[in-house]
Chain A
Amino acid sequence: MDFQLSKEHEMARSLFRDFAEKEVKPHAIDVDETEVFPRETVSKMQKYGFMGIAIPKEYGGQGCDPLTYVMCVEELAKVCGTTAVIVSAHSSLCADPIMMYGTEEQKQKYLVPLAKGEKLGAFGLTEPGAGTDAQGVQTRAVLDGDSYVLNGSKCFITNGKEADIYIIIAYTDLQVDAKGRKKKIFSAFIVEKDTPGFTFGTKENKMGIRGSSTYELIFQDCRIPKENLLGGEGNGFKIAMHTLDGGRIGIAAQALGIAEGALERTVAYVKERQQFGRSIAQFQNTQFQLANMKVQVEAAQMLVYKAAMAKATQSKYSVEAAEAKLFAAEVAMDVTTKAVQLHGGYGYIREYEVERMMRDAKITEIYEGTSEVQRMVISGDMLK
């Protein structure tokens, strides 16, 4: 077992860190305050291949492994949770399932521009009545001639109005089992922006990751060409779950980065902040808190990197992804809360940024499967 990163990974990390410090960090406060999607940053990330890190080169990507991708999300999240989730949702939730389940034509048409960052991706599963409970999905697709007719709505969609290509999960069949219970059969579709019948509803006013564009998607008799069915009819649930396994690794990396960013700032702050004639770093309470935070962050990093390695080498990595996300998200919430506390009154002031990190951290315990769902996945595997 080797805990040493390769020279390539070390250099990739220095690239992501350098980019995040110079190009992302200066805008983080503003992005949060104004809720404006950081389009210019996304264009820069596109230029340097950050939008297709783990996609093979033949499809316009960088051909790197999931660990490199995870380090990118982590370093971005250290300085800006919004920017990190834009990359994560685009890569893990849209490009990845097309890479995994798309036909060659679909890959050429949709994956190549996504991997090159020319197009931005999003994923829609959640609905007002369906989050953790996928059977609650009301969006329906009915085959009519050469196209599926989509009706329904999706909510809380990351990259919402900014994306160009969407993976939408809808039910295409309703089956009744031997006990008379109804079961929806789902399919996944690739939907382009500007398709007639596809519009946007309200923009969500969020607690954190405020620069990410979170919208409601509305489909009214929206006709999707038959060739945009992803992975065959009836495979939507499997595709969605597999996609979320990958997505959870991205969110785990985001949570890890947020925790690391808050810890870095706290270490710098406690050395400067004077109380009772000395820096607060000299108080044992501060030292013990910092030690606890450091151990939490390192343990989270191990789980996140382990999950990334599992994605690179295993066909199934649901448990590793769930463990990484559950732990990293809870660490992010705990570490950012402690960071605010160690900052005292200043921690409550926006300029000091740990306040934003605490707000950004909360969502990592909720989206792409709540912490409770992760516990279900982990224990379900233990008890099967």
Chain B
Amino acid sequence: MKVVVCVKQVPDTKGGVKFKPDGTLDRAGMLAIMNPDDKAGLEAALRLKDQYGAEVTVVTMGLPKAEAVLREAFAMGADKGILVTDRVLGGADTWATSTTIAGALRNLDYDLIITGRQAIDGDTAQVGPQISEHLGIPVISYAEDLKIEGDSVVVKRQYDDRYHMVKAKMPCLVTALSELNEPRYMTPGGIFDAFKKEVTVWGRADLKDVKDSDIGMKGSPTQIAKASDRVKKGAGEKVTPDSPAEAVDYIVGKLAEKNVI
């Protein structure tokens, strides 16, 4: 069984978010960590390694310093690490990122691809599902539990007020929630071994079936006007109309009040 985990190096938002004067993230001023949802995805893969002897390959896209998350993954027990880095890939939005990663994954054999649900620096939750679209394989998002049954994966998928049990034949892609598990720590010896392992570095030329118009800043339809720290949602309003018709009227009224419609 071959499992590929996609991880991202993100700024640690625990100590607060820092912005540069132009409104973009001050990445140099913040510590870099492995995105928490991705780490849960890696832990899920490592448990498949413990249980079934799965081979775990970790892929990351980013600046050369993103190699650090691959070393961390090695120290936790991952077998192989691939860093996708190239100047022409810079400034990618979720679309250009997913086409790039899909282009890298086309070079690999896999039964299961695991990505985190979303990264704490962008919070879009788009890249995982987009990768599955590019690769033409099923996706199950928001996994809070995962197990293998024969040639399929069975996922407990989180939903607002319930969960879904979803089964998909492999190869498929699963996006992991931090709630999926408690990631293991590295071991001290594992850290020293991790730095002896080789990281495979791929650039633009190594991406398979990817158009130049779909990568980097040029291939990114998204334009960021302004970035801000997460805005806390209000407590919300709970109403209990007597009939569905009343509920519709209420919602339409609210939307009109807020000039949405």
Contacts and interface: CB of A to CB of B under 8 A. Distances in A.
A15 interface: yes
A11 B186 contact: yes
Contact of B187 (A7, A18, A49): A49
Interface in B52-93: 68, 71-72, 75
A64 interface: yes
Interface stretch (A55-63, A98-106, A297-305): A55-63
Contacts of A49: 187-190
Interface string B180-217: 00001111111110110000000000000000000000
B contact patch SS: helix
B195 A15 contact: no
B185 A11 contact: no
Which of B68, B71, B186, B189 gathers most chain A CB within 10 Å? B189
Contacts of B186: 11, 15, 48
Nearest to B182: A22
A165 to B, nearest CB: 22
Interface residues of A, number: 18
Contacts of B71: 7, 11
Interface string A7-35: 11001100100110000000000000000
A7 B189 contact: no
A363 B187 CA distance: 30
A63 B192 contact: yes
Interface residues of B, number: 15
Contacts of A61: 189
Contact of B72 (A11, A63, A64, A68): A11
B187 A62 contact: yes
Nearest to A45: B185
Given A7-B195, A11-B72, A11-B75, A64 B185 contact: no
Contacts of A50: 188
B188 A57 contact: no
A53 interface: yes
B189 A15 contact: no
Contact of B185 (A8, A15, A62): A15
Contact of A64 (B68, B184, B189, B194): B189
A12 B195 contact: no
Interface string B32-48: 00000000000000000
A272 to B, nearest CB: 16
Contacts of A48: 184-188
B16 to A, nearest CB: 14
A48 B195 CA distance: 18
Contact of A63 (B75, B189, B194): B189
B187 to A, nearest CB: 4
A140 B194 CA distance: 48
Nearest to B33: A14
A68 B188 contact: yes
Contact of A53 (B68, B185, B188, B194): B188
Nearest to B186: A15
B188 A19 contact: no
A12 to B, nearest CB: 5
B147 to A, nearest CB: 23
A63 B185 CA distance: 17
Nearest to A69: B188
Contacts of B190: 49
Interface in A184-218: none
Contacts of B191: 8, 11-12, 15
A72 interface: yes
The 4 A-B residue pairs whose C-beta atoms are closest, nearest first, are A62-B189, A49-B187, A62-B188, A64-B188
14 contacts: A7-B68, A8-B192, A11-B68, A11-B72, A15-B75, A15-B185, A15-B188, A15-B191, A53-B188, A62-B192, A63-B189, A64-B188, A68-B192, A72-B188
Given A57-B189, A64-B188, 16 more contacts: A7-B195, A11-B71, A11-B191, A12-B188, A12-B192, A15-B186, A19-B185, A48-B184, A49-B187, A49-B188, A50-B188, A61-B189, A63-B192, A64-B189, A64-B192, A68-B188
Interface of A: 7-8, 11-12, 15, 18-19, 48-50, 53, 57, 61-64, 68, 72
